[in-house]
Amino acid sequence: MTKTIMIVDDSITVREQLREVLESERYDVVEAECGEAGLEKAQECQVDMLIVDVNMPGMDGLEMLGRLRELADYQHTPAFILTTEASASLLKKGRAVGATAWIVKPFKRETLITGLRKVLGES
């Protein structure tokens, strides 16, 4: 069964780059441009994994992830943080809200695909 991955990033460029990579690997893609939209869409359709930016207008990615973890359906859904932020304190905050892994932009296609197959139990 095809897995669905949600991309939450305010940059159209990054969303399009990720969509191209994920669709070529036969994943379904859902997009959201901010934390609030990500929360809404996650409740509209069950997603299997998330790729989330940190700095976005309105609710940032870490806050969104923290709120998502309060929902029964998303307590254990893998979530990668993909961001320009790289400091140890933010990584710690990411761990606290249940992020699975952290990538500092730009992403490498092979690394991303290997990582998400691993957390989706496909490797």
| Residue ranges that bind other proteins, judged by CB under 8 A | 10-14, 16-17, 20, 55, 57, 80, 83-89, 91, 94-95, 99-108, 111-112, 114-115
Question: Please, which residue, 45 or 118, has the CB nearer to other proteins?
Answer: 118
Cβ atoms 49, 79 nearer than 8 A = yes
- Residue 44 or 110 with smaller CB distance to other proteins: 110
Smaller CB distance to other proteins: residue 43 or 111? 111
Q: Beta strand pairing status for 49-52 and 79-83?
A: parallel
CA distance 54 to 118: 23
